[in-house]
Amino acid sequence: MIPLRQIAHARSGDKGNSANIAVFARDPADYAWLRDHLTAAVVQAWFARLGPGPVTRYEAPNLAALNFVLPSVLAGGGSRSLRLDAQGKTLGMALLEMPVPDPETGPTEHTD
């Protein structure tokens, strides 16, 4: 397993009470892997403790990117939320810490 940040980078921000996270592949082969494995359900599960509504994923192949919209994840948004990150600026960095199988070695990689 590797952290997602090894194959991608991200930007995130708020849209009222919702946030969006754009995940950009570091190279075209990684984009194909991300498109197949980084689903809306995977992202929703990663942020489950923050209580997002149903996550929606949009593909931007010309940018080798995926954009995720996480409704209601900001507990009211910038002017209402008491959360430390009420504007979702760190959500992209949090997603990049998610462990994923190494695209080059597959899901059966073992580290000791």
Q: What is the CATH number of domain 2-100?
A: 3.30.70
Predicted confidence (pLDDT) per residue in 45-103, tens digit: 999 998 888 999 999 999 999 999 999 887 655 555 444 454 467 889 999 999 999 98
Structure token digits, residue 4: 């997602």
What is the pTM assigned to this prediction? 0.84
Q: Which residues contact 28 (CB under 8 A, 6 or more apart)?
A: 64
Per domain, the residue ranges of the chain are 2-100
Block residue for tokens 């592949």: 25
